[in-house]
Chains A and B, each alone.
Chain A
Amino acid sequence: DGGITQSPKYLFRKEGQNVTLSCEQNLNHDAMYWYRQDPGQGLRLIYYSQIVNDFQKGDIAEGYSVSREKKESFPLTVTSAQKNPTAFYLCASSPANQPQHFGDGTRLSIL
């Protein structure tokens, strides 16, 4: 079945470490997105990419980095510069001018 796969489901990070969250889609969608979700704050956009080898910052890009080397993959790296990384991270994808489809998320916690 087509869909979006995020891995791992749970991730733990030590202080000062970078971690990479995986997002893979087999829906052949051009656009991909990363959101951060905190309780009571809704979803906030971190980065998005509308085409391979191109991406733009969202509203809260500081402390994060992404790459888009393949159409189906859009990994997110949470760097040590992100001072409050504990959150639920959601990846999404969409074809042009159509609603976004979401993965099941990765919950990141600091040890």
Chain B
Amino acid sequence: AQSVTQLDSQVPVFEEAPVELRCNYSSSVSVYLFWYVQYPNQGLQLLLKYLSGSTLVKGINGFEAEFNKSQTSFHLRKPSVHISDTAEYFCAVSGADRGSTLGRLYFGRGTQLTVWP
């Protein structure tokens, strides 16, 4: 089974500052990687995904993430945050090799991003 570690449970940052939310996953032959955002009392919304190709992926709301296979990481970044980015962010991984159950996602425990004015 896959596992995902989100290294920070809470990240406070001031508005317009850059932010990085860290995510590491357990190694596998190949993986699909995702970042989701959750606003209070709502479901999860897909921010971005890595399925194949370029290791730098761009998502919605100005977020981007870089897939680093050697470090088994998929950190999420934004160069300048807004107060509206305050939410919980989840990193998730799905195995892409033949032995994996297609679509089976493993989630990290989440990182609460709080943006202060």
A45 to B108, CA, bound (A): 12
Determine chain B's interface SS by DSSP, over half rule: loop
Mark the stretch among A11-19, A62-70, A76-84, A99-107 that contacts chain B.
Answer: A99-107
A41 to B106, CA, bound (A): 12
CB pair A104 B42 closer than 8 Å: yes
Report the 10 A-B pairs with minimum CB-CB distance, sorted nearest first.
Answer: A102-B43, A42-B109, A42-B107, A43-B107, A102-B44, A104-B43, A31-B103, A99-B46, A103-B43, A42-B110
Contacts of B42 in A (CB 8 A): 104-105
Q: Mark B98-114, 1 if CB is under 8 A from A, else 0.
A: 00011111011110000
CB pair B49 A99 closer than 8 Å: yes
* A20: Cβ under 8 A from any B Cβ: no
Taking Cβ atoms with an 8 Å cutoff, the residues of B that contact A are 9, 34, 36, 41-46, 49, 90, 101-105, 107-110
Determine chain A's interface SS by DSSP, over half rule: strand
Contact-residue size bin, chain A (C-beta under 8 Å from the other chain): 20 to 34
A55 to B105, CA, bound (A): 15
CB pair B90 A97 closer than 8 Å: no
Taking Cβ atoms with an 8 Å cutoff, the residues of A that contact B are 4, 6, 31, 33, 35, 40-45, 48, 50, 56, 90, 92, 94, 96-97, 99-105, 107
Contacts of B36 in A (CB 8 A): 102
CB pair A105 B108 closer than 8 Å: no
CB pair B44 A90 closer than 8 Å: yes
